[in-house]
Chains A and B, each alone.
Chain A
């Protein structure tokens, strides 16, 4: 009985300890603010410095520019040529192309697998599918990029013979593989949290189990599935290594999905290595980073909003 002893309390120690905990807990909040501040800060010259704006003002980055007198105005991303060109459009198009292919690939597979796992699979099968998806999620993106660059591109070339060996389709498929676990996990979560009472009611009304799954559970879980797709899209837009290695890194504007592309993230990664600290190019790259940050921030807020509304609807609480 006498062995349970706690050291006598020291008010100062208690106070310091608790203060340490509370201050440390704000680390995440501080980190996200610092990230935004410091990335945006390095891109500020674009907004006020006239010298920088000669080459890369917002206007110059958005609209077609006549770079050489007499030639047609065009959009072009060529920061390292004699006349630096900073149009954002080729990069945006490249990013969207890769993301679209990734989603076309990942959404049917991810949502389909989630439906199977949540509704049709036996418990044992479910216990097998989950580790497989976690395995897929654990593959580093540099490995997926490596596989796409070395193996998949060669296979595609032998089967289809595209003009460019490294292109949007090549990178898009690997990107889809990286996005599947995100969609699967959240979509499966959404479906398993549909209340049992809804399922029971449908069964009582005479629907077969598979009809319950497809006509009752699926529509009810739709907001959660939509959130998973949105978050997956956010990941597809921001992913760097796969597109850096497998997409060809050519800032081409074209409608074809088998042309090379250059994405925003890959541009930053490829060009940051050789950029001069404090130069116009440097500012523009940080500006691209700011855009990426804002975009994924908005996507995350959107996904979170949908999820919290869903939780309210089913469980009646604000999480």
Chain B
């Protein structure tokens, strides 16, 4: 009860009573929802802090550039870093062209409400929601089982599989399908910011659609394409389930040099070390170091993408 009510009733005439609703200050919903934010921030801080604390001491130039020794109890993680980079490089070569062309088709060649557009968008949305282990199964069943075995049947001697086995090419192709939606969405976002007048000017000057795409649209969309590529790399470097059976290995005495080689990878390394080390205490330092390296890599990429995206939006 507040003074407003009191004043109104004491000074008004008997026939009219102005009563104002007491206005509470909404502290319960505000406080509760703010608490939710705080809990999330706190948990994030605990996780990142724990990893930074235990991992920072392990990282050194030597750690990043030397191979593992002594059953992962000492040495470095260079092969895993190399394998991860090679993996996402191949993946990017596959996913960026396909993703960009798909986005261009959706934006430039079809009407927004046509049947074709809706089917493709449905496929993209569903692709984005497929569990990563299902991608792993697909990589095994399709790339290794169908394409790989098929290539072996055509090109290799029977009984000695060359392509029908886990290989870096199959793992990166599997990842490229997984990250396709990311590239498409990012590129579309960029294409939408291109002013219509620019394209119309190009057509007015006599350019064909393809020429416009090549000379006007693509350069303008470059930040978005770059963002999409960076986000795809960040996502691809972190996924483990799709590569578990399509090419990743825990310890290899060689670095992947051919397309059908297996490879070591940061995420897979973390998984195996954490779950299958004979002595977890001894491998903990390397484990934490590897996790920190993966996290730093992922965050650096994400921040680059966020920065690019905000610059793109402010330009609009």
List chain A positions with a Cβ less than 8 A from chain B. Answer: 4, 6-7, 9, 13-14, 17-18, 20-22, 24-29, 31-32, 34-35, 38-39, 41-42, 108-113, 115-117, 119-120, 129, 131-136, 138-147, 149-151, 177, 180, 206, 208-211, 213-214, 231, 234-235, 237-241, 244-245, 265, 268-269, 272-273, 285-286, 289, 292-293, 296-297, 299-301, 304, 318-319
Contact = CB atoms under 8 A, between A and B. Distances in A.
Contact of B141 (A17, A42, A109, A134): A42
B195 interface: no
Contacts, number: 260
B229 interface: no
Nearest to A238: B131
B101 A20 contact: yes
Nearest to B140: A272
Given A269-B244, A293-B134, A304-B125, A113 B33 contact: yes
Contacts of A300: 125-126, 129
A272 B136 contact: yes
A177 B267 contact: no
B102 A6 contact: no
A292 B133 contact: yes
Nearest to A181: B40
Given A29-B119, A120-B34, A13 B21 contact: no
Contacts of A35: 130, 134-135, 138, 142, 177
Interface string B265-283: 0010011001100001000
Interface of B: 21, 23-26, 29-30, 32-37, 39-41, 43-44, 47, 50-51, 97-98, 101-102, 104-106, 109, 112-113, 119-120, 122-127, 129-138, 140-142, 145-146, 177, 180-181, 184, 205-211, 215, 234, 237-241, 244-245, 267, 270-271, 274-275, 280, 284, 287, 291, 294-295, 298-299, 302, 306
A25 B102 contact: yes
B272 to A, nearest CB: 10
The 4 closest A-B pairs by CB, nearest first: A238-B131, A140-B238, A112-B36, A210-B26
Contacts of A120: 29-30, 33-34
B291 A143 contact: yes
A160 to B, nearest CB: 18
A314 to B, nearest CB: 17
B288 to A, nearest CB: 9
Nearest to B97: A24
Which of A26, A42, A140 lies at the interface centre, i.e. has the most chain B CB atoms within 10 A of its CB? A140
A219 to B, nearest CB: 13
A100 B211 CA distance: 53
A65 B130 CA distance: 32
B129 A210 contact: no
A88 B291 CA distance: 34
A135 B142 CA distance: 34
Contact of A28 (B102, B239, B240): B102
15 contacts: A17-B210, A24-B98, A24-B102, A28-B120, A41-B141, A112-B36, A120-B29, A120-B34, A138-B298, A177-B47, A241-B271, A272-B136, A285-B137, A296-B134, A297-B130
B234 A138 contact: yes
Contacts of B138: 34-35, 38-39
Contact of A112 (B32, B207, B280): B32
Contact of B306 (A9, A131, A140): A131
Contacts of B146: 38
